[in-house]
Structure 1
Amino acid sequence: MTAVTAGPAQRGRTWRWIAVAIVAVVLLAAVTAWLTTPRDGGRMDPTATGPDGAQALVTLLREQGVQVQVADTAAEAAALAGPDSLLLVAQTFYLWDDELLATLADAPGDLLLIAPTSRTREALAPGIAEGTESTLGGEPDCALREADRAGSARLGPTVTYEAADDDIDLTRCYEGALVRYTDGDRTITVIGTADFMTNSTLLRDGNAALAMNLAGAAPRLIWYAPQQPEGESSGAASITDLIPDRVNWIVWQLCLVVALVALCKGRRLGPLVAEKLPVVVRASETVEGRGRLYRSRRARSQAAEALRTAALQRLTPRLGLGPGTDPPTLVAAIAQNTAQRAPGLDPGLVQYALFGPPPATDDDLVHLAHALDDIERQVAHS
């Protein structure tokens, strides 16, 4: 009996099919990654699909018939607001100027204030003061219709509020994390956190119902969550916008060639060797333990110093600076680096975030952490 062996032509066809399959898998993975990549954006950005964005809530509100109008400036928000509208003001890193707060305070219509700092709260909701408790959520335990219909919610870490004056009729829900009172013809609603409105936590418990009830209380919603300093535009073209479409295809082809060469030249690895490892403590557990220790001792200054030190240690290598760089030089380098990609960072804001005074409240500490994350993100993407 004669043995039948595969000839060179048959082996060549087999390798061609394998190469075609590899190319198809690589292309499918590339297209999937491109389609599912979150659109970058800051906290409470109505167009961002990342964890801190709020595109999911805005989409749900529009599907329910609420007219959502996004305002890029405080003046635009005040101009869009009217007696039949609800002005949603979400605290971000760029909402701190007294003139902006004064413009928002004079706007007509009802107000929904999300996670305000001490300065923002005093300007827009002077009838309340920060309480002494903190809460993560639970049952509303109040007569407010929006909260009562939503039921239990997981708000996340938040502050509580109480009336600044005995004459103010204040409705308190979720142990004071959500409050409402009337100032003349204006109904002011304040909630101490924005976590339950973001894309990452909107589906937990009654978060979606509570967010839609509060933001959809009026037929027209003015959404103001500034993502850049006033007067600057984010419409500048990025480097990817300047690259022709044909060049993109050349880059993908080069990536495919590199992958195929690596596959052909790569050597087969041996079998895995089992090895007993020592006990491993997750990094998240140590971070949470240290955070609880800081919180129990109200060590906001130490926590802020740790956040700023860690941010500086990550920023200086990216900027090509040494560890002993003085603050003015570092601030100037960050501003110059981010200026290459709109909107850039204002030197005054960078100086305040990296070298400013320690936060006075836990809420201010949370906003400082978000500000440092925003600085690192913009430096990394510049």
Structure 2
Amino acid sequence: MTEATIVTTSASRTPHQIWLRVRGLLLTLLILIVAGITFAAVGSGDQHGRLDPRSADPYGSRAVAELLTDRGVSVSVATTLDEATGASGPDTTLLVAGPNLLTAHQQLRLRTATGDAAGRTVLVAPGPPSVTRLAPGVRADPASRVTARTPDCEFPAARTAGTADAGGNRYTTDVHGATACYPDNGLPTLLVLPGRGTGDTVLLGSPDILHNDRLDLEGNASLALQLLGSRPHLVWYLPSLTDPSAAEGDANGGSEDGSREDESGGERGFIGLIPSGWLWGTLQLALAAGLTAVWRARRLGPLVTEPLPVAIPASESTVGRARLYRKANARDRAAEALRSATRTRIAPLLGVSSRDTRSPEVLLPAVSARLATTGSDLRTLLFGPAPADDAALVLLTDQLDALEREVRTS
């Protein structure tokens, strides 16, 4: 009997097989990236962020900026502290959209500059401890719910606007001449502090009256236009994390651990500085990856049999399985199926029980005694490694057929 030369091969998938399996997933990922970049580019002209006078988003402030422009007030955007302080003056209103994002050093610089300018400064939702630096003598109390409130004060802008959406941070102060409006449980949510000359500082507990989606409610538009339109020029300061002035003074960014405060006055960590859109996008991608893993994962557990609607000839099942093995280059499994079938068929002829067909110590001596064939040849034939190529697999099939015929005729 001719002995086949069997060469051990790796069961790992080839690069071509890996490419065929992952190309669909990579194409889907590429489409998602291109779509995201396209949508970002298309919407970049109108969407800049919260309280941005260029943004038409519900939480942007484009509507109030355009109304002010129609009334002759020039509106300019500043993203650095130097731009904001350089543009301040007696005929200018400086709106600080995110005072809690400023470092302690920036807050002190801003307070000094606005105190000397004798204009109006509007601080949007300053919380502790930023309010103590930007408005000495004022303390911020826990935030309240934003709802329609009456002014209950003599401040002309508030009396003209009447009921407006107010709330958020509440303030207490011992500054002489301060005007407290829109109180909640006795604490004002809008506080006006007198300044140098005709200047003043307005602490707005909540930014809601400046949002596009709430400007047409209650007296929000009237209050916003009067607060921001009392001077011919409005500088809309949007603090930026890339502002070079943030590295000056306190290099840790205004706190001992380098974190910043959120709009309600609490500490913001790294996650709090990430835009919410990125967080939602990451969550959606993680969910999609998880579903893809479940979809493509190997199913574990025993096979479940079920009755077929039609009878399938054994030859067709054999051919179908052989084609699947060939498509997957699974010569190891094909060879094991052939060897197992041969061992199962010759075992009764040799007087070996079916449970010992996988035991070389029991089956090989019985075959050797029957055919007087060397044990090494039989071990390679019945229990050897996977064939190296298709030709070796065909040769193995012929040798197994020859062995079975010898056992039957001997």
Structure of higher CA gyration radius: 2
Query: Which amino acid in 1 is paired with 2:277?
Result: R
Partner Cα distance (1:370, 1:190) in 2 = 27
CA contact (8 A) 1:162 1:170 kept: no
Aligned CA distance change for structure 1 residues 207 and 170 (closer, same or farther; 3 Å): same
Q: What is the deviation of 1:61? A: 0.6
Partner residue in 2 for 1:198: 211
Partner Cα distance (2:164, 2:270) in 1 = 23
CA contact (8 A) 2:150 2:163 kept: yes
Query: Which amino acid in 2 is paired with 1:121?
Result: V
Task: Name the structure, 1 or 2, with higher relative contact order (CA <8 Å, separation 6+).
Answer: 2
Query: Which amino acid in 2 is paired with 1:123?
Result: R
Partner residue in 2 for 1:121: 131
Aligned CA distance change for structure 1 residues 364 and 371 (closer, same or farther; 3 Å): farther
CA contact (8 A) 2:163 2:219 kept: yes
Aligned CA distance change for structure 1 residues 374 and 198 (closer, same or farther; 3 Å): farther
Query: Which amino acid in 1 is paired with 2:75?
Result: V
Q: Secondary structure at the match of 2:75?
A: strand
Counterpart selection for 2:112 from 98, 106, 116:
106
Aligned CA distance change for structure 1 residues 91 and 36 (closer, same or farther; 3 Å): closer
Partner Cα distance (2:273, 2:190) in 1 = 26
Partner residue in 2 for 1:61: 68
Partner residue in 1 for 2:85: 78
CA contact (8 A) 2:99 2:107 kept: no
CA contact (8 A) 1:151 1:206 kept: yes
Partner residue in 2 for 1:181: 193
Counterpart selection for 1:147 from 153, 158, 164:
158
Q: When the two structures are superposed, what TM-score results if normalisation uses the length of structure 1? A: 0.52
Q: What is the deviation of 1:51? A: 1.7
Paired residues for 1:219-298 under 5 Å: 219-231=232-244
Q: Secondary structure at the match of 2:129?
A: helix
Query: Which amino acid in 2 is paired with 1:58?
Result: A
Partner Cα distance (2:153, 2:201) in 1 = 16
Runs of 5+ consecutive residues of structure 2 not aligned to the other structure: 1-40, 246-251, 283-410
Partner residue in 1 for 2:176: 168
Partner Cα distance (2:214, 2:270) in 1 = 17
Query: Which amino acid in 1 is paired with 2:225?
Result: M
Paired residues for 1:356-371 under 5 Å: 363-365=264-266, 368=268
Partner Cα distance (2:269, 2:63) in 1 = 24
Runs of 5+ consecutive residues of structure 1 not aligned to the other structure: 1-33, 233-347
C-alpha RMSD over aligned residues = 3.7
Partner residue in 1 for 2:354: none
Query: Which amino acid in 2 is paired with 1:182?
Result: P
Query: Which amino acid in 2 is paired with 1:377?
Result: G
Aligned CA distance change for structure 1 residues 111 and 356 (closer, same or farther; 3 Å): closer
**Alignment pair present for 1:377 and 2:387:** no
After superposition, the C-alpha distances for 1:271-325 in whole angstroms (9 at most, x for unaligned) are xxxxxxxxxxxxxxxxxxxxxxxxxxxxxxxxxxxxxxxxxxxxxxxxxxxxxxx
Q: Secondary structure at the match of 2:215?
A: coil
List structure 1 runs of 4+ shifted beyond 6 angstroms: 34-38
After superposition, the C-alpha distances for 1:326-354 in whole angstroms (9 at most, x for unaligned) are xxxxxxxxxxxxxxxxxxxxxx78x999x
Partner Cα distance (1:230, 1:45) in 2 = 17
Q: Secondary structure at the match of 1:70?
A: strand
Q: Secondary structure at the match of 1:200?
A: helix
CA contact (8 A) 1:38 1:50 kept: no
Aligned CA distance change for structure 1 residues 376 and 142 (closer, same or farther; 3 Å): closer
CA contact (8 A) 2:165 2:218 kept: yes
Q: What is the deviation of 1:36? A: 8.6
Q: What is the deviation of 1:219? A: 1.2
Q: Secondary structure at the match of 2:160?
A: helix
Partner Cα distance (1:47, 1:369) in 2 = 27
CA contact (8 A) 1:89 1:113 kept: yes
Q: When the two structures are superposed, what TM-score results if normalisation uses the length of structure 2? A: 0.48
Partner residue in 1 for 2:144: 134
Aligned CA distance change for structure 1 residues 371 and 189 (closer, same or farther; 3 Å): farther
Aligned CA distance change for structure 1 residues 223 and 133 (closer, same or farther; 3 Å): closer
CA contact (8 A) 1:78 1:106 kept: no
CA contact (8 A) 1:92 1:227 kept: no
Partner residue in 2 for 1:255: none
Aligned CA distance change for structure 1 residues 101 and 37 (closer, same or farther; 3 Å): closer
